[in-house]
């Protein structure tokens, strides 16, 4: 069910992205079509303007030129440059040269732009006598050409702001849910655990096998530790220098006694104990989650290896298993709340582990490598504080 919800959420994201792309493409198509229509209209106007210019230049003195002149004067927005057959500028219209220092250079620049933007029109004045009419796109057409890109930029900016606001809001809600759920769980577990501890004291006074009592005590203590873990979620983390090597060894011993017998548990630690700034209770929880996931991924026989190494700037812990592996496309997805491949899973273990490592310990947790049906390595990196770096280098 949870995987179903996650899949639906991903599908909705894809639908929204597709809708945004369709809106953008539709806007570009419509605007480009409108620009093309205006370009054709301006071309027709320039052809009419060229014909009017030809009539004015080539007409006898007694010819009535009111209409051609009215056509020429009606152009108030399309920049026009008239040249002779060799390209010398004869005149221009709708190009202001009064505000530039070098009018001639400015006109040559405008002529180059006109050549690039539109094909010239030939004004024939007789055999081997002609002039060339160049024109630029109107300011309206140039602004309209940029409009879809501005529109897309605004849409992208709006989506980005909305996404950031939504993500921040969703994260705040998730934090509240985590905290509320954890506090309530700790509260609910507290009463029966206190009762169990009392019964344990009574059982000690009976004649039961001491080894059985010790195991019962371990599990009761375990329940108490779980309650403590939940109570710490949402609280300000208290990090203290702890013996990481001991924590890893104890956790492996506990999981080994309660894990599948077909799985071999191995520990690879340096001889010198590794010290790190940790919240021991929460960090143990992360290692247990990783161990359990690693064990569950092994179908028959296999092994889980815990590696730890200390560098000058960080402590690195790798949990390696010989299970079914993880698809590369799911490397980040597995840490999202609600994602699980287990029939009865809740999809919270790795999400909680990520929260503990990254939010409480300022570290990183990620899939370092994974080969299908071969092996997977989940890596934890804990960055050392400046004081730890100095002590390590000494």
Instruction: Identify each DSSP E strand in 211-257 by its residue range.
Output: 240-243
Side-chain-facing half-sphere of 14: CA atoms under 13 Å: 6
Asked if 252 and 290 count as a contact pair (C-beta separation under 8 A), the reply is no
- Look up the CATH architecture of domain 237-393: 2-Layer Sandwich (3.30)
pLDDT by residue for the chain (394 residues), tens digit each?
444 555 666 677 778 778 878 887 888 888 888 888 888 888 898 889 888 888 888 777 667 778 878 888 888 888 999 998 888 888 888 888 888 888 889 999 999 999 988 888 888 887 778 889 999 888 888 888 888 788 778 878 887 888 788 777 777 766 666 666 666 566 556 656 666 777 777 777 776 677 766 767 777 777 777 777 676 666 666 788 999 999 999 988 888 877 788 888 899 999 899 999 998 888 988 998 898 888 888 888 889 999 999 998 899 999 999 888 888 888 888 887 766 776 666 667 888 889 889 988 999 999 999 987 778 999 999 988 655 544 444 3
Q: Describe the crossing of helices 139-204 and 2-58 by its angle, rounded to 10 degrees.
A: 170
CA atoms of 51 and 133, how far apart (whole Å): 10
Residue 34 pairs in a beta bridge with none
Token pair for residue 309? 């190494």
**Any idea of the CA torsion for 113, 117, 119, 120, to the nearest 10 degrees?**
-30
Contact between residue 326 and residue 370 where contact means Cβ atoms under 8 Å apart: yes
Distance of alpha carbon 336 from its chain centroid, rounded?
Answer: 14
Under DSSP, is residue 271 helix (H, G, I), strand (E, B) or coil?
A: coil
Q: What does the pLDDT read at residue 23?
A: 81
Vertex 348 angle, CA 343 and 350, to 5°: 105
CA dihedral over 65, 68, 72, 74, signed as positive or negative: positive
Say which residues have a Cβ less than 8 Å from residue 50's Cβ, sequence separation at least 6: 121, 122, 123, 133
Would you kindly state where each structural domain of the chain is located, as residue ranges? 2-137, 142-213, 237-393
pLDDT at residue 246 in the model: 94
Statement: the pTM of the whole predicted model exceeds 0.85: no
């Amino acid at each position: 069910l949870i995987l179903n919800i996650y899949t639906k959420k991903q599908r909705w994201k894809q639908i929204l992205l597709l809708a945004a792309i369709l809106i953008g493409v539709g806007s570009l198509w419509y605007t480009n079509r409108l620009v093309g229509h205006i370009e054709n209209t301006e071309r027709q106007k320039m052809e009419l303007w060229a014909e009017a210019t030809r009539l004015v230049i080539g007409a006898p003195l007694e010819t009535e030129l009111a209409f051609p002149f009215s056509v020429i004067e009606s152009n108030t927005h399309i920049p026009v440059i008239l040249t002779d057959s060799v390209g010398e500028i004869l005149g221009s219209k709708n190009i202001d040269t009064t505000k530039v220092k070098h009018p001639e250079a400015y006109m040559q620049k405008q002529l180059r732009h006109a050549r690039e933007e539109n094909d010239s029109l030939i004004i024939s004045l007789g055999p081997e006598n002609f002039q060339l009419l160049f024109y630029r796109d109107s300011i309206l057409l140039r602004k309209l050409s940029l409009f879809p890109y501005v529109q897309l930029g605004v849409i992208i900016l709006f989506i980005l702001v909305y996404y950031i606001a939504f993500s921040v809001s969703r994260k705040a809600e998730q934090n509240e849910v985590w905290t509320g759920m954890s506090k309530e769980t700790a509260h609910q577990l507290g009463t029966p655990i206190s009762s169990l501890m009392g019964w344990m004291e009574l059982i000690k006074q009976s004649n039961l096998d001491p080894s059985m009592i010790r195991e019962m005590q371990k599990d009761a203590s375990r329940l108490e530790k779980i309650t403590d873990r939940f109570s710490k979620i949402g609280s300000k983390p208290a990090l203290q220098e702890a013996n990481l090597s001991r924590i890893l060894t104890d956790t492996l011993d506990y999981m080994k006694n309660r894990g599948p017998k077909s799985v071999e548990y191995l520990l690879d630690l340096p001889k010198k104990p590794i010290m790190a700034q940790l919240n021991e209770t929460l960090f143990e929880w992360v290692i247990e989650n990783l161990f359990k996931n690693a064990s569950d991924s092994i179908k028959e026989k296999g092994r889980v290896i815990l590696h730890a190494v200390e560098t000058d700037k960080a402590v690195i812990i790798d949990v390696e298993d010989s299970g079914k592996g993880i698809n590369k496309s799911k490397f980040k997805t597995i840490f999202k709340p609600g994602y699980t491949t287990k029939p009865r899973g809740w999809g919270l273990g790795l999400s909680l582990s990520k929260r503990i490592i990254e939010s409480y310990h300022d570290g990183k947790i990620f899939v370092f490598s994974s080969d299908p049906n071969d092996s997977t390595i989940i890596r934890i990196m804990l960055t050392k504080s400046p004081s730890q770096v100095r002590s390590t280098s000494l």
